[in-house]
């Protein structure tokens, strides 16, 4: 695959679900989806990230002729059976109105411990050999999961959480290990589901880290850059990361992200080593 000079991948979970702790506008409407995709295409964003389990996201993309994009999608749950996962992948192709995808990732990393996972992976490798999938990979959450899959599987792609608060994968050498295996790295949670862009309207759950958040915001203000500039600039400067997955609710936000991505920002990481903040699945925000 020829690499784009843009380091951005457009995440499309918002096209199919109401997603994000700071999202007050809900799922993106059809008209706005078209605007976002057109703006992405016109600004050299070549890859879209979606999943079978992202509600109507794949269907919405298929309705907007995404053949000019490289599509990364993800598997359904293995608990439903190997046959179901394979059948659902074909459903993904039908929804997307594509004959093949650039990448398919194992969405639920716990599936690798399922007794039928080796059978599933063999089936996925067969789909890859048949040209329906260009590259296979995994979507992971923890450093330990990276260690496991590197030990047992050959793959070409990985999607992982990374942001200015969470540098575990740098400190423990995981990003370097992945690059040594020539695995393409897609980083998500660059803005920690929008938290890093808006500290003023957070749920009460986040009061635990008020002191750290206040200190971080002062650091950013003193730099002269915006919250977006700083968080995005930090991630862009990590040389091991090939692409950053960013999600937006409208074309104006995408314009802001693209503009911010072109700035030269000397940003330093700001570690907050608390898994209750770093892993959104643990957030208690209801």
Fold of 8-282: TIM Barrel (3.20.20)
In the chain, where are the structural domains located?
A: 8-282
Cα separation of 72 and 254, whole Å? 19
Total-model pTM: 0.93
pLDDT-based confidence at residue 281 (cuts at 50, 70, 90): confident
How confident is the model at residue 19, as a pLDDT?
53
Closest Cα partner for 246 from 137, 159, 138, 143? 159
How does pLDDT run across 22-44, given as a tens digit for each residue? 444 578 999 999 999 999 999 99
Contact 48, 75 (CB under 8 A): no
Cα separation of 14 and 57, whole Å? 7
Burial class of residue 243 (count of CB atoms within 10 Å of its CB; 0-12, 13-18, 19+): buried
- Cα torsion through 59, 120, 112, 187, rounded to 10: -40
Extract the tokens encoding 44: 């050299």
Contact 127, 85 (CB under 8 A): no
How confident is the model at residue 21, as a pLDDT?
44
How confident is the model at residue 245, as a pLDDT?
98
Cα separation of 105 and 72, whole Å? 8
Q: Which residues contact 12 (CB under 8 A, 6 or more apart)?
A: 48, 49, 50, 54, 57, 60, 61, 247
Contact 163, 246 (CB under 8 A): no
Contact 216, 43 (CB under 8 A): no
Q: Which residues contact 151 (CB under 8 A, 6 or more apart)?
A: none
How does pLDDT run across 124-182, given as a tens digit for each residue? 999 999 999 999 999 999 999 999 999 999 999 999 999 999 989 999 999 999 999 99
How does pLDDT run across 239-271, given as a tens digit for each residue? 999 999 999 999 999 999 999 999 999 999 999
How does pLDDT run across 1-29, given as a tens digit for each residue? 444 568 999 999 999 886 554 444 578 99
């Amino acid at each position: 695959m020829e690499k784009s000079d843009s380091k951005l991948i457009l995440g499309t979970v918002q096209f199919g679900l109401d997603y994000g702790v700071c999202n007050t506008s809900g799922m993106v409407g059809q008209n706005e989806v078209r605007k976002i995709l057109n703006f992405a295409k016109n600004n050299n964003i070549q890859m879209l990230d979606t999943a079978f389990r992202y509600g109507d996201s794949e269907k919405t993309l298929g309705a907007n002729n995404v053949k000019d994009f490289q599509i990364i999608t993800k598997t359904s749950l293995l608990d439903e059976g190997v046959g179901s996962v394979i059948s659902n992948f074909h459903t993904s192709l039908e929804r997307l109105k594509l004959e093949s995808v650039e990448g398919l990732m194992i969405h639920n990393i716990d599936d690798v411990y399922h007794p039928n996972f080796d059978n599933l992976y063999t089936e996925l490798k067969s789909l890859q050999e048949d040209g329906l999938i260009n590259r296979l990979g995994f979507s992971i959450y923890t450093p330990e999961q990276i260690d496991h899959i590197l030990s047992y599987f050959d793959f070409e792609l990985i999607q992982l959480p990374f942001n200015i608060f969470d540098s575990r994968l740098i400190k423990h050498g995981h990003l370097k290990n992945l690059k040594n295996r020539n695995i393409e790295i897609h980083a998500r949670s660059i803005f920690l589901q929008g938290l890093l862009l808006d500290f003023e309207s957070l749920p009460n759950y986040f009061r635990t880290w008020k002191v750290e958040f206040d200190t971080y915001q002062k650091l950013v203000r003193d730099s002269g850059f915006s919250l977006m500039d700083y968080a995005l600039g930090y991630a862009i400067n990590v040389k091991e990361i090939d692409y950053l997955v960013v999600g937006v609710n409208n074309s104006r936000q995408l314009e802001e992200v693209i503009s911010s991505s072109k700035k030269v920002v000397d940003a330093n990481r700001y570690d907050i080593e608390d898994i209750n903040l770093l892993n959104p699945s643990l957030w208690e925000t209801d």
